[in-house]
Amino acid sequence: MECINCKKEIKEEWNYCPFCSYVIHKSKDYSKMVDKYKNRIMKTPLVKVGGLCIQISQDEGNPEVKIKSLGNMSIEDTEEEKIENIKTQEFEIEKEIKEPHAEYKKLGKKTLIEISLPGIKEEKNLEILKLKQSLELKARTEDRMYFKIIKIPENSSIIKKELKNETLHLIIE
């Protein structure tokens, strides 16, 4: 099978291309799954719940905040002061998104990946999402955001993660 995006040869069972990270959409027959859970779904009692939906949008200029109540909760049930704070709070759009530089070193069966993240001093500013054959890295400072897809072998995992001197060290096995 050939990747639609980069035209490289990929396996039929892959959900995305390991070369360019393109998601390969495959149609599935969900009718069997629906039939399997139909009785369970039909017997589940409905519970009335509620909450608030906060929508933030921006065309030009300042962001617009809309608040809607859902279910059995109304805006009056919340603290009016907190909602006003949300409405008037300044929201800053990310100024710059960068792909950080990464170096790969083979350590026997393990791989050390060193990712340079200038301005990132604490792990709380990092987010790593493990996918089947890649890692998605997001990191944020006050004025920029870093984003990188790191290809890793299927069934591998992060065995060590350390942020030191604005460099993220990952050991993959």
Give 142-159 pLDDT, tens digit per residue.
888 899 999 988 889 899
Last residue of a domain, one of 65, 88, 111: 88
For residues 130 and 74, membership in a common domain is answered with no
- CATH number where 112 lies: 2.60.40.790
For residues 76 and 130, membership in a common domain is answered with no
Verdict on whether the full-model pTM lies above 0.75: no
Residue of 124 and 25 predicted with greater confidence? 124
> How many folded domains does the chain comprise?
2
For residues 127 and 105, membership in a common domain is answered with yes
SS3 46: coil
CA separation for the pair 172, 158 (Å, rounded): 5
Structure tokens at 25: 């959409």
- Burial (0-12, 13-18, 19+ Cβ within 10 Å), 128: middle
Q: Please determine, for residue 102, whether its predicted confidence score (pLDDT) is greater than 70.
A: yes
Strand partners, 102: 115
Strand runs labelled E in 34-133: 50-57, 64-71, 97-98, 102-107, 110-116, 126-130
For residues 101 and 122, membership in a common domain is answered with yes
Residue numbers of the domain that contains 107: 97-172
Q: Give domain status of residue 110, yes or no.
A: yes
Q: Give domain status of residue 155, yes or no.
A: yes
Q: Give domain status of residue 20, yes or no.
A: no
For residues 101 and 83, membership in a common domain is answered with no
- Looking at residue 158, its pLDDT comes to 92
DSSP label of 23: B
For residues 145 and 123, membership in a common domain is answered with yes
For residues 121 and 56, membership in a common domain is answered with no
Do 57 and 64 meet the contact criterion of CB atoms below 8 Å apart?
A: yes
Structure tokens at 53: 């939906």
Give 38-72 pLDDT, tens digit per residue.
555 555 555 555 666 677 676 666 667 777 766 65
Q: Give domain status of residue 27, yes or no.
A: no
